[in-house]
């Protein structure tokens, strides 16, 4: 029995030494992997920053061109609307001369009259108050 205990203790001691060695190897591989991962993440973040900076420059350039084109389009629209208003006014004048003759004075544009309404709530006759029934 002593012989078996000695053998078991020797085997257990060898297993403990082997596990310590494998743990040390694992810790060193984890440290290497951590360093490699940190370097990869730093490089990736740097790439993201460069890409973002380049994209911002490109968008700023494109946006400046877009704003310029919108301003030109709005200016063109304003000129077209003003031209169409003049043409419409001339057409109305021509129609007026056609109907009333060339020497007829042109009447001013009609004005819109504001309708006046009575305040219905102030009149007791028009707006009776709700009466409560007593029970």
Q: What is the pLDDT of residue 119?
A: 46
Distances (CA, A) of 30 to 16, 23, 78: 21, 10, 69
pLDDT digits (tens, 9 = 90+) for 46-58: 999 999 999 999 9
**Residue 110 pLDDT greater than 70, yes or no:** no
Q: What percent of the chain has pLDDT over 70?
A: 75
Average pLDDT, stretch 32-43?
96
**Band of residue 112 on the pLDDT scale cut at 50, 70, 90:** low
- d(CA 90, CA 98) in angstroms, rounded, equals 12
Mean model confidence pLDDT for the chain = 83
């Amino acid at each position: 029995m002593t012989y078996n205990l000695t053998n078991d203790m020797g085997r257990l001691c060898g297993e403990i030494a082997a596990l310590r060695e494998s743990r040390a190897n694992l810790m060193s591989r984890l440290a290497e992997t951590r360093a490699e991962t940190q370097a990869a993440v730093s490089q990736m973040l740097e790439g993201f920053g460069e890409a973002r900076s380049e994209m911002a420059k490109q968008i700023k350039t494109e946006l400046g061109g877009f704003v310029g084109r919108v301003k030109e389009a709005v200016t063109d629209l304003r000129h077209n609307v003003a031209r169409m208003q003049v043409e419409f006014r001339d057409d109305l004048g021509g129609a007026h001369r056609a109907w009333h003759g060339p020497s007829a004075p042109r009447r001013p544009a009609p004005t819109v009259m504001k309708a006046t309404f009575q305040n219905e709530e102030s009149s007791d006759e028009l707006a009776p108050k709700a009466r409560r029934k007593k029970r």
